Amino acid sequence: MISFNYETDFKLDDETVISKWISDTISLESYKLEEINYVFCDDEYLHKLNVEFLNHDTLTDIISFDYSMGKLIQGDIYISVERVADNARDFDVSFVEELHRVIIHGVLHYCGYKDKTDDDAKIMREKENHYLGQLDQ
């Protein structure tokens, strides 16, 4: 089950399409979906989580809490729509494209992909691009 929660003045237009895309991605990566809760929020909300739980006093676009066990995916993904909007401007892409990238980025972490090294980040970006191509934008 995938749920979308809103802690700011924002709402996805296409929850059903996004849910299917996420579920399909998880299946294609040979994992099984248990439960993912997406929480869309503002910078202040996500910053508080970043400080409280990760001891990072910085702004970020996404924080994911992974409760997965083996191949069973479960977790909470918090996304700052303010950061996504700023990043979209910085990367010269649409807000929707950047939002979709961040949404699938969290899922790919749950599927075992990392992005701390340059090589890992390159693989992560390739996977993001692949799955973005699976979604009609």
| 115 annotated among ligand-binding-site residues | yes
- Torsion, CA 18, CA 134, CA 123, CA 94, rounded to 10: -70
Distance between CA atoms of residues 42 and 9, nearest Å: 9
**105 known member of a binding site:** yes
Integer Cα distance of 56 and 2 in angstroms: 27
Annotated binding-site residue? 90: no
Contact indicator for 110, 25 with CB cutoff of 8 Å: no
Separation of alpha carbons 41 and 43, rounded Å: 7
Annotated binding-site members for Zn(2+): 105, 109, 115
Annotated binding-site members: 105, 109, 115
